[in-house]
Amino acid sequence: MQKVISKENMKKSDEYTIQNKMSSLKLMDKAAIAVMQSYNFKGKILIVAGTGNNAGDGYALANRLYENGHQVEILLTENKFSKEGKHYFNLCIKNKIPIYIYENNFNFQKYDLLVDAIYGIGFSGMLPKHIETIINQMNNSNKPIISIDINSGLDANNGLATTCINSTLTVAIGALKPGHLLNMAKDKINKLVVQNIDIEIVGETYYLLEECDFKEYIPKRLNNSNKGNYGLVGILGGCQNYSGSVKLANLSLSALTSGSGVARIITPNSIISSISPYLLESTIYPIPDQNGQMIYNKDSIDKSLEKVTALLIGIGWNQTKDNEKILNYIINNYHIPMVIDADGLNTIAKTKNLKPNLILTPHLKEFSRLTGLSIEEIIKDEINIAKNYAKNHQITLLLKGPATIITDGNIVYIVNTGCPGMATAGSGDVLSGIIIGLLGYLKPTLKTVALAAYINGLAGMLAEKDKGSVSMLASDTINHLSEVIKKFTKN
């Protein structure tokens, strides 16, 4: 796993390192060397420098490139420097590196490569007009752009921007920041590398999970075992209007393909005839209903949950008073791993009945309903809001997005698998099926939930290679689940 550090803690880490390990000038030079080693620099290079220490990294890089025989020039956004930056700027003058101050008619086209050293992680808010113009001209030049630490204009804590550099490569210095992963980041960063330059990380750390973190996480199947050893999972949901969602959650076989021994669909009696033809390997249990909507019936619910070892609630369910009663009854009386999704979440947003150890899997709009915050408020501070919500309610939260945040309020995991092709109906249902499938036989830990997100995203990426992002369906993700799950299964 890789560390992910907020910009506030990264600044503290820089300060600690400078006070205890190396000078700020040495740190700046190490950043420059790290960038130089990250890309095959060639041709005529322009370093576009701002006024702070990110510009200082750019000046240090210019000198390193010059010393290695490269043709390099510098463009100043304005004639202003940090103390450390001035040191390396003076060295550029000594080495007679050509230096210009930006004017509106500056010609970016005469360069083969642009380096973005305008802003570092400290940027937030609105860009000054002349910087916005520079960034737009750099982007429109169609030249490769290397961003030092993070793309100028992109907020390092949340990956939001009004205008920012579209980088060919971003070289994260010291550690990843949330803004490298969240919200707009994937659309603005073509390739991302992290360079360790011996910064001592202090303060809270989040973790980006990688494939190696799940090595052999799924146990090997024994010959002397049967379906009962791998859990009977329940999928409770569906109604007349949304029967397709529950159909997909199991038709996809995501729960069974993820390893559960048995999957039981618990759904309104009147829609069974439309679902049952698709349930080749699964069982089904009818719940009394009226007009295709479940009716609260304690005995029927209890019978439907006999021997169930993990339960998914809410897919294709709709929001009714009876569903509120059903959900409250199950939450208050059953103590099995329980995943709440879709209309299960919307129901909780109304009833406020949250018990410890539940697993909630909202997308942003659902999380907005749960928290009472607007989506705009959430995405500005996504990790902290998710973490605090999970901690306050003692639950596990999986917040869907371009990168997935999984937290129990103490640890924060980030999963960065996934692709644009997964922005299609049913993708969330597939993920829920994977989670409940794994919970049939694995412990309901934070890492198990994170593994489900990782598997879902990786299978989606494989599907997108086959179908392309435009034509891809959620069922295409399912077709690659077994291929991905083998990666994490003991031999």
- Out of 202, 224, 241, a domain closes at 202
> What value does the mean pLDDT take over residues 75-96?
95
Question: Is residue 425 pLDDT above 90, yes or no?
Answer: no
> What value does the mean pLDDT take over residues 196-221?
96
**Which residue matches tokens 């299978």?**
459
Q: Residues 198, 217: one domain?
A: no
**C-beta of residue 138 within 8 angstroms of C-beta of residue 118:** no
Q: Residues 221, 112: one domain?
A: no
Question: Is residue 185 pLDDT above 70, yes or no?
Answer: yes
Range of the domain at 368: 212-488
- Whole-angstrom distance, CA of residue 169 vs CA of residue 458: 22
pLDDT at 245: 65
Question: Is residue 248 pLDDT above 70, yes or no?
Answer: no
The reply to whether 484 falls in a domain is yes
The reply to whether 366 falls in a domain is yes
Least-confidence region, from 11-15, 101-105, 446-450:
101-105
Q: Residues 222, 358: one domain?
A: yes
**Which residue matches tokens 């949901």?**
237
**C-beta of residue 419 within 8 angstroms of C-beta of residue 466:** no
Question: Is residue 360 pLDDT above 90, yes or no?
Answer: yes
Question: Is residue 94 pLDDT above 60, yes or no?
Answer: yes
Distance in Å from the first CA to the final CA of the chain = 22
The reply to whether 157 falls in a domain is yes
- Whole-angstrom distance, CA of residue 73 vs CA of residue 70: 10
Q: Residues 357, 399: one domain?
A: yes
- Tokens for 363, please give them: 């997308």
**C-beta of residue 399 within 8 angstroms of C-beta of residue 382:** yes
- Whole-angstrom distance, CA of residue 323 vs CA of residue 319: 6
Q: Residues 196, 232: one domain?
A: no
Q: Residues 193, 233: one domain?
A: no
Q: What is the DSSP letter of 341?
A: -
Q: Residues 84, 190: one domain?
A: yes
CATH code assigned at 139: 3.40.50.10260
**C-beta of residue 362 within 8 angstroms of C-beta of residue 400:** yes
Q: Residues 336, 384: one domain?
A: yes
Q: What are phi and psi of 241, to 5 degrees?
A: -80, -25
> What value does the mean pLDDT take over residues 167-186?
98
State whether residue 471 is helix, strand or coil.
Answer: helix
pLDDT at 249: 64
- Tokens for 137, please give them: 């001209």
Question: Is residue 246 pLDDT above 70, yes or no?
Answer: no
**Residue 247: which pLDDT band, with cuts at 50, 70 and 90?**
low
Its pTM stands at 0.95
The reply to whether 207 falls in a domain is no
pLDDT at 274: 82
- Whole-angstrom distance, CA of residue 167 vs CA of residue 190: 6
Handedness of CA 50, 56, 58, 63 (dihedral sign): positive
**What's the burial of 356, exposed, middle or buried (CB within 10 Å: 0-12/13-18/19+)?**
exposed
CATH code assigned at 435: 3.40.1190.20
How many domains is the chain partitioned into structurally?
2
Q: What angle do CA 40, 44, 45 make, to 5 degrees?
A: 70
Q: Residues 254, 186: one domain?
A: no
